A = this chain, B = another copy of it.
């Protein structure tokens, strides 16, 4: 971490800055956005803020407002022009007990991180850890992430870059920190996320790019056998963009033309 801001102020000594009774710490009662800082600006800033505001509303959590978050981002980035900025918003401090205390301001954390190493092509595996289903929480980037933590703990082989997760009914949902797409008969298909998973900002952008490139696309349930017969597979993530999956369990793919076209369109639009 290069810099940290809590409620607009630099985090105090040794990165110690959050109250012990913060509801984010105690109950995972929070939301976050992980954003790419490039050329001194946040890529898809508006989409990130929109998702955060909409998720705050779904959880009846107070949204600090675009201007406040944008100001945090500007302050924490300082003179940095490339990197990753994470914004975390919790329901604030509040009592012992699950019931939220009304009218408590949310806690805001903004942190600046170095750009992580990233490969254009991804070797992936199937995770054993399954995702539970809850349509009320599906789509949001909330901080109840134990399932992702357990899934990401499953492998130590550094040549594996991502793990794909299924839910308990066997539907493929996402990577541990990415959304996933396949190409089938020249059409783009991605899981519909009606029961679990995060509706990624990059996922939405890819669907938008597909539309502008006149590529037919579908959001629907996918199963591992759909991957066996796919002509291309790729994963998306706000920081790392679009990455071709070239290996998944026993399956192998070469980087394909639709993945390339979408990468190119992303570079020219972003």
Binding site for B on A (CB under 8 A): 1, 4, 6, 11-12, 14-30, 32, 34, 59-60, 84, 86, 88, 90-91, 93, 96-100, 109, 111, 113, 116, 129-134, 136-137, 142-153, 168, 176-177
Contact = CB atoms under 8 A, between A and B. Distances in A.
A19, A29, A131, A134, most chain B CB atoms within 10 A: A134
Contacts of A15: 19-21, 93
6 contacts: A12-B16, A16-B18, A18-B20, A27-B146, A96-B116, A100-B153
A146 B144 contact: yes
B32 A20 contact: no
B28 A145 contact: yes
Contacts of A19: 14-18
A228 to B, nearest CB: 26
A84 B21 CA distance: 14
Contacts of A29: 145-146, 149
A15 to B, nearest CB: 5
Contacts of A11: 20
Contacts of A28: 27-28, 143-146
A259 to B, nearest CB: 23
B150 A136 contact: yes
The 6 closest A-B pairs by CB, nearest first: A28-B28, A132-B132, A144-B144, A27-B145, A18-B18, A98-B152
Given A18-B19, A99-B176, A137-B146, 16 more contacts: A4-B20, A12-B12, A15-B20, A17-B18, A20-B88, A23-B149, A24-B25, A27-B28, A59-B149, A86-B96, A96-B111, A99-B149, A99-B153, A100-B153, A131-B134, A132-B134
A54 B143 CA distance: 23
Nearest to A29: B149
A1 B93 CA distance: 11
A6, A26, A32, A34, most chain B CB atoms within 10 A: A26
B100 A149 contact: yes
A120 to B, nearest CB: 19
A143 B96 contact: no
A20 B20 contact: no
B6 A20 contact: yes
